[in-house]
Structure 1
Amino acid sequence: MIEFINVDKVYKNNVKALDNINISINQGEFVAIIGLSGAGKSTLLRCINRMHEITSGQLMVNDTNVSKLKGKEVRTFRRKIGMIFQSFNLVTRTTVLNNVLVSFVPDLSLFRKWTGIFAYEHKVKALSALDKVGILDKAFVRVDQLSGGQQQRVALARTLAQNPDIILADEPIASLDPITSKQVMEDFKIINRDMNITVLMNIHHVEVALEYADRIIGVREGKVVYDGKASEVTEAVLNHIYQGNQEQELEKAKGDAVYA
């Protein structure tokens, strides 16, 4: 479970990014966070794995008070939370398999870190993760030879290799064309359904969020203004979340897309 209890986040410039957030997310849910740019979506997401520190309140993940963690505890905690970024964060001049194997580096002995030699079981897990996202045949291909959608699948496989309880996805389809976006979203849906991994996604594409997520959290000016089933989101709800500017936000999302 992920639980925000009266959480505020204020940046050093006195901008209040999160304002009294109170939400609970159960294991196995697929949740999409929507709202205007600058509404606080990414901040909310990144507080969960301590990329951002909360200013006040409590943030609990599986009965762990995230704010209380220090040093090695933070690193251990993050091992169970996968993070997917818009920019993929891959090493493009090496193979797909090597990029997935990177997820095991924190667990390696000093000797293996120095030599770059991975254990047999690590390679099996990495190949299994690639199989789950449908690109096992690309294991020995350099990443820079892949399409944008394939690269995002490599990033997803790298996260799956960690065996996480939670996947946080920050605009994972923002740089993908519509067809590829649907393929990647199908991957997220299958992983959520078949592996019972919680997926919490920050996304600009409202129509995609409504199609794939089970639950929608609408954020406006740092506050949660809607929290309910995706099937119950109406035009009036969207107007409330976006203050009537959803068409503008949709155009921005389309403008951000890079067609592969």
Structure 2
Amino acid sequence: MIEFIHVEKIYSNKVKALQDVNVKIDKGEFVAVIGLSGAGKSTLIRCINRMHDITSGKLIVDGVEVNTLKGKQIRTFRKRIGMIFQSFNLVTRTSVLKNVLVSFVPDLPFWRKVTGIFSKEHKIEALTALDQVGILDKAYVRVDQLSGGQQQRVALARTLAQQPDIILADEPIASLDPVTAKQVMDDFQRINEELKISVIMNIHHVEMALQYAERIIGVRDGKIVFDGKTEAVTQEVLDYIYKGEREVQQAVEGEQAYV
């Protein structure tokens, strides 16, 4: 579904955020991207939905070369990709339901955008999304009255209401306590397994990545230094991703573990 082919991303300050990235992610995978701060993890996932443009190479999603899209094509493409941020990006002074309904605004007729009137069908879809993340009972509560974990679930419900094929999550549990973080990760796992939605997550919590993801991509200095199944991740692998202490050349079940 997603394929990076010799992708590079160089920022205007000459910083090489991504260097010769070659990765293929199949539909329905749960992938965790790990590495030090500044390694290029966020850049990697944000290139997928064109939040960042790549400098060279090709990025292909379902046969579409993403970096060739323009204008309306980009907006249409992004409808298929949900994005979850650490900061939630919610309107805290309004209700949970209205925050989820925001996902339908781009496709509404002009008069509905102006009046803020949503159809019965849209409300049902929004309530269904809230039910999927276990906070249907909070639909008419103001967002600023919710806990951090509940707010992240609202953000996830808003994304689910789009009916995306892919969910990108940029440090979704970084500001949550351990118990709440586990609840949110449970949501991601259930959505991945039950709805077959691909999840690509940039995450600092290595133990959570190993517990929930089926595949780990390790990034260091903008390069993919590990790509393999979760069970192949050893302390030696983590030392290599985070410290670059030792490069081991080996294959894990026929797959290249170190790149």
TM range (shorter): over 0.9
Partner of 2:160: 160
> After the TM superposition, which residues 244-255 of structure 1 pair with which residues of structure 2 at under 5 Å, given as runs?
none
1:57-115 C-alpha deviation (Å, 9 max, x unpaired): 00001111001100000000000000000000000000000000000001100010011
C-alpha separation between the residues in 2 aligned to 1:235 and 1:244? 12
State the alpha-carbon separation in 2 of the partners of residues 231 and 96 from structure 1.
Answer: 38
SS of 1:140's equivalent? coil
Secondary structure of 2:22's counterpart equals strand
| SS at structure 2 position matched to 1:111 | helix
Tell me what 1:230 maps to: 230
Q: Which runs of 5+ in 2 are unaligned?
A: 246-259
Aligned 1:191-206 pairs, distance under 5 A: 191-206=191-206
- Matched residue, 1:100: 100
Query: 1:194-232 CA deviation, whole Å, 9 max, x = no partner?
Result: 000000000000000000000000000000000000111
Q: What does residue 55 of structure 2 align with?
A: 55
Unmatched 5+ residue regions in structure 1? 246-260
Q: Which residue of 2 aligns with 1:141?
A: 141
AA matched with 1:214: E
3-state SS of the aligned residue for 1:94? coil
SS at structure 1 position matched to 2:224: strand
Q: What CA distance in whole angstroms lies between the structure 2 residues aligned with 1:83 and 1:162? A: 10
**Correspondence list, 1:104-183, <5 A:** 104-183=104-183
- Equivalent-residue separation in structure 2 for 1:165 and 1:244 (angstroms): 34
Q: Equivalent residue for 1:71? A: 71
Amino acid at match of 1:179: V
Cα distance, 1:244 vs. partner? 6.6
Partner of 2:39: 39
Q: Matches of 2:61 and 2:93 in 1, distance apart? A: 36
Q: Secondary structure at the match of 1:238?
A: helix
Give the partner amino acid of 2:137.
Answer: D
Pairing 1:186–2:204 present: no
CA distance in 2, matches of 1:188, 1:231: 19
- 2:255 alignment counterpart: none
For 2:153, the aligned partner's letter is R
Write the letter of the residue equivalent to 1:23: V
Partner Cα distance (1:190, 1:27) in 2: 15
The number of residues matched between the two structures is: 245
**What is the alpha-carbon distance in structure 1 between the residues aligned to residue 184 and residue 231 of structure 2?**
21
What CA distance in whole angstroms lies between the structure 1 residues aligned with 2:123 and 2:162?
12
Aligned residue identity for 2:65:
N
| CA RMSD, Structure 1 to Structure 2 (Å) | 0.8
Q: Provide the secondary structure at the position in 2 that maps to 1:172.
A: coil
* Shift of residue 238, structure 1, vs aligned partner: 0.2
Letter in 1 for 2:200: L
Q: TM-score, normalised on structure 1?
A: 0.94
- Counterpart amino acid of 2:237? V
Measured in 2, the distance between the counterparts of 1:201 and 1:143 equals 24
| Aligned position for 1:249 | none
**Runs of 4+ residues deviating >3 angstroms:** none
Instruction: Please give the secondary structure, in 1, of the residue aligned with 2:42.
Output: helix
1-side partners of 2:210 and 2:5: how far apart? 26
| In structure 2, C-alpha distance between the alignment counterparts of 1:183 and 1:111, rounded to whole Å | 39
SS in structure 1 of the partner of residue 93 of structure 2: coil
Q: Give the AA of the match of 2:62.
A: N
